[in-house]
Structure 1
Amino acid sequence: MLSRRAIVAGLGAAAAATYAGGLAAPSIARAAAPFTQPKLPYASDALAPTISAQTVDLHYGKHHAAYFKALNDLVPNTSYADMSLEEIVKASVKSEADRKIFNNAGQAWNHIFYWDQFKSGGATEPAGELKAAIDKDFGGLDALKTAMVKTGGDVFGSGWAWLVHDGSKLSLVGTPGGDSPFARGGKPLLGIDVWEHAYYLDYQNRRPDHVKAVLDKIVNWTVVAERMQA
């Protein structure tokens, strides 16, 4: 785990860094105090028509940005003031008194993870060890997609659907709000945002259609494979 000072000094090398818990760092700059929202690794219209530029502008420019602003307001003069974003997520997840801090730190982290998995130039379907693991644990990519659509649909209210690797097998997990497997020591490989702000402008109440379209059209499976190898 890098200290806050080391992270701030090393933002230019963030793509080669490693997240706590063994996750590959995203190619966008890693968030660390003073918490600054990383830039998108593509233009806001790059995910269209699966996710429209209007949705990206709202989702990234308003919702994601708001988590960083709130976190900057909440952490000064607390025990979290000298922690990195990742440390705050893990340290606050079980504290009911610090629920606001966790919610905003969790969502800040979740969205860095989310935006990075869509960057262009990678594989449009899994290969190698990742494909073998998907075949073994789900019976193939189509079966994984079907199961992940169901996981996303089963999340009550706002939350996330995650593909997780525990070191020996893959599984799917749905989490509410800003929670994640990462917050609890797990290793997510892929996360689909099923908060309404992630899809409602494009899909209205058709959440399963959103999850399926994301999996079919814009996931960069090279990123997912790198996360499994990390």
Structure 2
Amino acid sequence: MAASIALPPSTKLHQNHFHHSSFRGSPLPPSAFPCSSIKQKQHGSKTYLTKISAKFELKPPPYPLDALEPHMSRSTLEYHWGKHHRAYVDNLNRQIEGTELEELSLEDIITKTYKKGNILQQFNNAAQIWNHDFLWESMKPGGGGKPTGELLELIERDFGSFEKFLEEFKSAAATQFGSGWAWLAYKDNTVDHPRPSEKDKKLVILKSPNAVNPLVWDYAPLLTIDVWEHAYYLDFQNRRPDYISTFVSNLISWEAADLRLQKAKAEAAERVKEKEKKKEKKKNEGSDEEVYVDNSSSESDSDSD
């Protein structure tokens, strides 16, 4: 039976890092995306174009702000998305301007500034942008209920039952001390397993503090709930358990979680293929090595005759 895992920001895990160029979260495009900003420099009567720098923009949730009512109010989304999420985007753009981070993707900024728990100042804003993009896509109008197909099969296999999963997920969200997140994630353990099988690929429940997310570990997130107070206080005040129950029963987008699972599995299979290719290449290179035969003794014998 799977257990919830709480990992603090300072946790240093032995991990096989995923390919940073791939988007390991939602299969949809990231909501905060870089756009080009052309800087101009005036010199006399002429204008010269200088550097094109990447900036991140705030994109709205994939539904109207009142679409989640009555379970999540328009007022909550206006503050949560319109103010908090916007502030993360604005702050990150200021922090990365003129630095090497300006040219990186959002995911690369996250992994580069996490530094195995030795967090740089840009991490919190970058990770919070990603987390909130992921959150909006984890919800939908008329959500909740129960998943189907392979996702449900894996939940029942790894947690014992769907009901047991809900119990553990709610517990992780409720017991995350202070601000943070709870996640359902896919863990691929097959790469370094001596005899890998599908059973080594498991679903796990994680909780993380502040802005930390599973991208900095070897996990592929499928679903998240935000338990920062600004995510629920206007609707539920200090009643976090009520917010969590409402989220699970009425807001979860199991369709998005299923698409993320399929993407995570495809990426895991690709990593296995890459490992096999490298292994085969190394084997072939070893077989092509020339064999050196020392004939010096026979030559010296013939010379002495």
Same fold (TM over 0.5): yes
Instruction: Please state if 1:218 is matched with 2:251.
Output: yes
2:14 counterpart residue number: none
Instruction: For 1:1-230, list aligned pairs within 5 A.
Output: 20=22, 22-26=24-28, 29-32=31-34, 33-94=54-115, 99-120=120-141, 124-167=145-188, 168-230=201-263
Q: Which segment drifts farther, 19-28 or 46-55?
A: 19-28
Q: What is the CA-CA distance between 1:25 and the residue it aligns to?
A: 3.1
Tell me which structure has the larger Cα radius of gyration.
Answer: 2
The structure-2 alpha-carbon separation of the partners of 1:28 and 1:96, relative to structure 1 and needing over 3 Å to count, comes to closer
The structure-2 alpha-carbon separation of the partners of 1:73 and 1:80, relative to structure 1 and needing over 3 Å to count, comes to same
Instruction: Decide which structure has greater strand share.
Output: 2
Contact 1:28 / 1:40 at 8 angstroms: preserved in 2? no
1:31 alignment partner AA: F
Task: Please provide the CA RMSD for this pair.
Answer: 2.1
Q: Provide the identity percentage.
A: 38
Aligned residue pair count: 213
Question: TM-score of the superposition, structure 1-length normalised?
Answer: 0.85
5+ residue gaps, structure 2:
1-19, 35-53, 189-200, 264-305
Contact 2:65 / 2:77 at 8 angstroms: preserved in 1? yes
Contact 1:133 / 1:169 at 8 angstroms: preserved in 2? yes
| Residues in 1 aligned to 2:118 and 2:202: alpha-carbon distance in whole angstroms | 34
Q: What is the CA-CA distance between 1:28 and the residue it aligns to?
A: 6.4
2:270 counterpart residue number: none
| Residues in 1 aligned to 2:252 and 2:108: alpha-carbon distance in whole angstroms | 27
Q: What is the CA-CA distance between 1:218 and the residue it aligns to?
A: 1.1
Q: What is the CA-CA distance between 1:139 and the residue it aligns to?
A: 2.1
